[in-house]
Chain A
């Protein structure tokens, strides 16, 4: 019962706030819809499939419709309305909501509904789905207000009987402002300048300075990266790396140059489809491609593809529209008027890319190549030039050489015909002709082997076998086979010297022509089954030659004889050479074996071949190629959008890729406003629709998130849900006024942020009073300034900045700062290891930290998972966070650097004050100083007892303590600085 009791208190509280003006009628959208939606719509709402008893309560017509047991709602007659009867009955079977539904309507809520029915049960549309009208600025708080935000806020405070806080002191204010606008604390110099500036516009001057700081873009980008699920890896099995960081830099730049938010939206959703899209505009669409990629072996490509589209549309739905479209994957929305058909019609906008869902590459097409920074490119191009020059020089030398060789040697090629002494075959008769050619006659056996014996010439380097056409051969060819073709299965060369037979080895060979599968090399491979043949499917129009280069140049003696064996053992019948001659040559031309064919007009050794044979040339050429590849790889491949398909889109039953139902076409949800008539329904139309003046959601959703960024919590705290189940804004008029203003300002983001931070509301002190805690524990009505623990990335950046370690370099590839050893390896079975960066890269701003999706950077806490779109800050308070900021090397080292930074101050007190001013922008007060001095003394005493400990402490992190410093002093002060870094005040923006 306890929880019910508590709920009632809250409702009553809300009632007193909401209904303080007695005449006020009950507002359906504000007071009734939230109850009906939460308690009834699940079964009696827009989802037609799950509707119980065919009763629908989300529209007036349906609710008053006649029913057997009476209409659910009878306007003016609360007790007669079935809905009330069923809520107050004692009958456990009849009572609504059913006890097992885990929903309960409190008495106070029933009273509200009764009152509403009495007043006529007027329905109205959900506030967020109706275009915001710029409300009149209240006159309240004239003396207090600096701009209309304050009037709206003040009006609420009057109703709550709360008085706003006074303005925060200047020091607090500048720290708050610097952290909010840049994520970095003010330097002591900036603080001094502000304090001494007596100009009434001194504060506004600081606002402008900070809005123009390049760090502003970095600060604004972080929540956008969370929404866009930006990461440097794919997620899932393998978690391959990707190179999307040029997009991250695009976002930072866009905020810095104050790109109007409508343009910011259009370029990210459909920059590729703009007329004459620039590469920057195409790059912007990487926003949609930041989704996870599943490269798991068992995945079905189409299933992946569909998942990616879901992710894209849901990201757009949450980021810009604040809609929980994901609810409609499987069924009509339970609360909002969005159907499953709407969901899939929306998906059609994203369904026209060439992405097919296969593969696990983090650079899956379509991609765009972003050129590297000019200095990197120039350096690499210079290296290429050196390498290319070397290659060119050698090429020139070689070409000259080739030219002279070719010229000198080509005329010298003189084959000497071998004059056979004897020629015989196993089966046929071989007749030696006048020109030393040999002709086969007689029977035609299937296979035959020849032996030719001749006097050995003095010098032989190569031997040429010429198959000569003859009229007695088939078709005037070279053999008496069915085609005139032959298969020489083996050629054997022997030297006959003093009765001894000495085999002569063939080193290589070339032929004028090789039939497929019958290469010349197969004629001396010692295999009877393979051989050389020359059939090209046509009648013979030329003789054929084979040149066999011997292993060395032979010098023969007088009386030596050459014995040449020609074997025809193939399975092809009668494929025996029928007419042929043999010639020899003493020396092979330098230009190579092909040169031997010169007078036969076949393959001529080209210049290129000649070059390729040179090993030095090969090496240099490879160097050049590798360098070119390296330069190409410098271009960064970023996945972007591109529409080049005309895919049909279907409703998928329960979102399953292979369960297609009705076909749908691209469209925006029907219950919101329509795309303009005559516009082609594509992604560009969608982008324009998102930022159309008619769109009730985008401006509200975005401005609400900026508000949350500055004030810690949105005007509606459900930043992710503007639907009926979302929280009704605490100050709806203010939200509407801001969102109209945003559009009127031509979507000027800096102007809107300026408006917020220059308001009196923002400038209040954060002091709590019991009354304020009691009335407004979460500071939703802003009777005091915002006070919140900073995001973990900001805490880290602040520590780096205050310690002087911060490296302000912007953009580029993600960096790998300190992280405990083995975290990646353990998660991936050693497949992926963390290679921590060194030096300056350790101190880059957090936004440049490499983000591995399956194991987020460990130095951050309460962060978005970056696995899907998230638009809400987490802000918990656990011991694990304390362990990070007390023990992570980043913080320990920052404490040490901070200590070294102040060590030159004269006294301990002065040192401590300097740390306070660097980090907190203020001096420690007397009480604090006493504690700080006392702890420093105690810690120093302990290090004095054990100086080795101090040595160890100075070695945590890469930062080098100056050699001449007193180690015990530095170690002690460094511990104190770490303590100050961990103060609630340090962790908090206030």
Chain B
């Protein structure tokens, strides 16, 4: 008997009983009934609505990218460069403890000029020429706002809907709700990078890909920036593939004997999980082997595409994962925390992310994957339009945390291309049109994946939890 089939049968029956008493969400249950992981057919049951996207790639920029230096073009800010911050813009607003002496703050113009791109005429900074060049494929949301002013809570808020650490992350919810499409690869993968020489990188806590109270198989699998992409993936030294196969056969046979003797269905699951581990030992090296990529594709991503642990490498890996059926990929790039490095490190950050982000969108499109894949790019908050340091020392110029308005872009996955949604005021300080709260963005992402954010729930501590807590509205206007 094919152990996989039996595994699914066993899984289905066991999980069914378990879930019915656990009171799992409808989404998960429906999928379990139809078989979660089936590489042969494409029947991913989406219980709530037709899915526009099957995959999510979240390019997460930890640290707070400066929206006014990158996407949110403010001529008035340029005019007011060096002038004192008008009080009316910040009265009653909360800033981080690092923002001191707000009354004496001076306005700081974007550090580079902006240009208009494409038919949509979106303004994009010269820092981001490649992103500018694909502006017609993107939907810029310039009215994002959040409730958190510090990194860890704000990133948690963005990824889990709660500022508390260790709640289930977006990717975990998607795996839980929609299941996997490839039994040989994890359905939720996380990769991280940081620009060389970054002085203030935000640490990647493992709760940024936590499954929280969801069962731990939904936790993101972190691909590492060096060595084996998955921990413990390689055979120990001195064990060939053939020797390992002998061991696997022995394990399987002995476990089967045990199963026959004791009758515990869990043993069948164990047998199949060991087999999958063995298959991953082949499928992941195959995944990370870039030798089958055409030269022009590699070039599109930029010079560091072949270096494991860079943003460009992680981008092309995201495409390869999606191509193979991985549900969600979270690519995180740290170091956007420019309290005193807006004229120095910001340039490196943009250099290291601009080209590869744009390449990823183009690459997905060229392969016909963009329709099925939702790409989201943004951070946990923006940065202040005013200066954090002395105006007379440009080398130390910086901006502080700014939760009241920032920019995120989306592409593919049934989102309208070439549009800008929402707006901040003339200084990029506060949202003045079509505000999009973090929970709204989350609701919209789930919507595109075919999930009603109010219905994907998990009962924990007696309460039904959601990614969007008790909030969130789908931003209908940006849906194609």
Contact with B along A945-964 (1 / 0, CB 8 A): 01001111111100000000
**B165–A868 touching, CB < 8 Å:** yes
**A877–B247 touching, CB < 8 Å:** no
Q: Which of A133-141, A490-498, A975-983 is found at the contact surface with chain B?
A: A975-983
Give complex CA distance A693, B215 in Å: 36
**B234–A887 touching, CB < 8 Å:** yes
Give complex CA distance A770, B262 in Å: 11
What residues on A are CB-neighbors of B98 within 8 Å? 297-298
Give complex CA distance A778, B13 in Å: 12
User: What distance in Å separates the Cβ of B313 from its nearest Cβ neighbour in chain A?
Assistant: 14
**Of B150, B240, B267, which one neighbours A296 at CB under 8 angstroms?**
B150
Q: Which residue of B has the minimal Cβ distance to A9?
A: B20
Give complex CA distance A855, B206 in Å: 6
Count of chain A residues with a beta carbon within 8 Å of a chain B beta carbon: 106
**B150–A876 touching, CB < 8 Å:** no
Give complex CA distance A882, B206 in Å: 20
Give complex CA distance A582, B257 in Å: 110
CB-contacts of B235-264 with A (<8 A)? 235-240, 242-243, 246-247, 249-251, 253-255, 257-259, 261-264
Give complex CA distance A769, B262 in Å: 8
Q: Which of B104-112, B273-281, B428-436 is found at the contact surface with chain A?
A: B273-281
Q: Which residue of B has the minimal Cβ distance to A971?
A: B238
Give complex CA distance A660, B98 in Å: 23
**A826–B269 touching, CB < 8 Å:** no
Q: Does B1 contact A (CB under 8 A)?
A: no
Q: Does B228 contact A (CB under 8 A)?
A: yes
CB-contacts of B342-367 with A (<8 A)? none
User: What distance in Å separates the Cβ of A958 from its nearest Cβ neighbour in chain B?
Assistant: 14
**A887–B29 touching, CB < 8 Å:** no
**B280–A879 touching, CB < 8 Å:** yes
**A334–B463 touching, CB < 8 Å:** yes
Give complex CA distance A3, B28 in Å: 10
Q: Does B133 contact A (CB under 8 A)?
A: no
**B262–A827 touching, CB < 8 Å:** no
Give complex CA distance A855, B270 in Å: 26
Q: Which of A111-119, A411-419, A431-439, A719-727 is found at the contact surface with chain B?
A: A719-727
User: What distance in Å separates the Cβ of B158 from its nearest Cβ neighbour in chain A?
Assistant: 16
Contact with A along B22-34 (1 / 0, CB 8 A): 0100100110010
**A768–B262 touching, CB < 8 Å:** yes
Given the interface pairs A9-B20, A935-B249, the reply to whether A724 lies near B462 with Cβ below 8 Å is yes
CB-contacts of A933-950 with B (<8 A)? 934-935, 938-939, 942-943, 946, 949-950
Given the interface pairs A725-B461, A787-B264, the reply to whether A956 lies near B238 with Cβ below 8 Å is yes
Q: Does B457 contact A (CB under 8 A)?
A: yes
Given the interface pairs A298-B97, A887-B233, A982-B251, the reply to whether A874 lies near B210 with Cβ below 8 Å is no
**A983–B263 touching, CB < 8 Å:** no
Contact with A along B209-223 (1 / 0, CB 8 A): 010000111000100
**B224–A858 touching, CB < 8 Å:** no
**A983–B255 touching, CB < 8 Å:** yes
What residues on A are CB-neighbors of B151 within 8 Å? 237, 296, 298
What residues on A are CB-neighbors of B242 within 8 Å? 942
Q: Does A865 contact B (CB under 8 A)?
A: yes
Q: Which of A235, A829, A952, A975 has the most CB of B within 10 A?
A: A829
**A939–B152 touching, CB < 8 Å:** no
Q: Does A327 contact B (CB under 8 A)?
A: yes
**B263–A768 touching, CB < 8 Å:** yes
**B273–A882 touching, CB < 8 Å:** yes
**B194–A720 touching, CB < 8 Å:** no
What residues on A are CB-neighbors of B324 within 8 Å? none
User: What distance in Å separates the Cβ of A934 from its nearest Cβ neighbour in chain B?
Assistant: 8
Q: Does B331 contact A (CB under 8 A)?
A: no
Give complex CA distance A107, B475 in Å: 37
**A955–B246 touching, CB < 8 Å:** no
Give complex CA distance A324, B463 in Å: 10
User: What distance in Å separates the Cβ of B456 from its nearest Cβ neighbour in chain A?
Assistant: 9
Q: Does A773 contact B (CB under 8 A)?
A: yes
**B238–A979 touching, CB < 8 Å:** no
User: What distance in Å separates the Cβ of B93 from its nearest Cβ neighbour in chain A?
Assistant: 13
Q: Does A10 contact B (CB under 8 A)?
A: yes
What residues on A are CB-neighbors of B221 within 8 Å? 880
Give complex CA distance A579, B254 in Å: 111
What residues on A are CB-neighbors of B233 within 8 Å? 883, 887
Q: Does A854 contact B (CB under 8 A)?
A: yes
**B462–A956 touching, CB < 8 Å:** no
What residues on A are CB-neighbors of B253 within 8 Å? 931
Q: Does A421 contact B (CB under 8 A)?
A: no
**B150–A298 touching, CB < 8 Å:** yes
Q: Which residue of A has the minimal Cβ distance to B96?
A: A298
**A983–B464 touching, CB < 8 Å:** no
User: What distance in Å separates the Cβ of A360 from its nearest Cβ neighbour in chain B?
Assistant: 13
Q: Does A828 contact B (CB under 8 A)?
A: yes
The 8 closest A-B pairs by CB, nearest first: A725-B462, A953-B238, A768-B263, A952-B238, A298-B96, A879-B277, A882-B277, A935-B250
Question: What would 19 A/B residue contacts be, using CB atoms closer than 8 Å?
Answer: A3-B29, A102-B455, A335-B463, A767-B262, A769-B263, A777-B14, A789-B270, A821-B227, A862-B216, A865-B207, A877-B273, A879-B280, A880-B230, A880-B232, A887-B232, A888-B232, A952-B238, A978-B247, A979-B250
**A residues adjacent to B (C-beta < 8 A):** 2-3, 6-7, 9-10, 37-38, 100, 102, 235-239, 292, 294, 296-300, 324, 326-327, 334-335, 718, 720-721, 723-726, 766-770, 773, 777-778, 787, 789, 820-823, 826-829, 854-856, 858, 861-862, 865, 867-868, 874, 876-884, 886-889, 892, 927-928, 931-932, 934-935, 938-939, 942-943, 946, 949-956, 971, 975-976, 978-979, 982-985, 987, 990
Other than A723-B462, A768-B263, A880-B221, give 18 A-B pairs with Cβ distance below 8 A. A2-B29, A2-B30, A37-B462, A298-B97, A724-B462, A777-B14, A787-B262, A821-B227, A856-B206, A884-B232, A886-B277, A928-B254, A935-B250, A939-B243, A943-B243, A953-B236, A955-B237, A983-B258
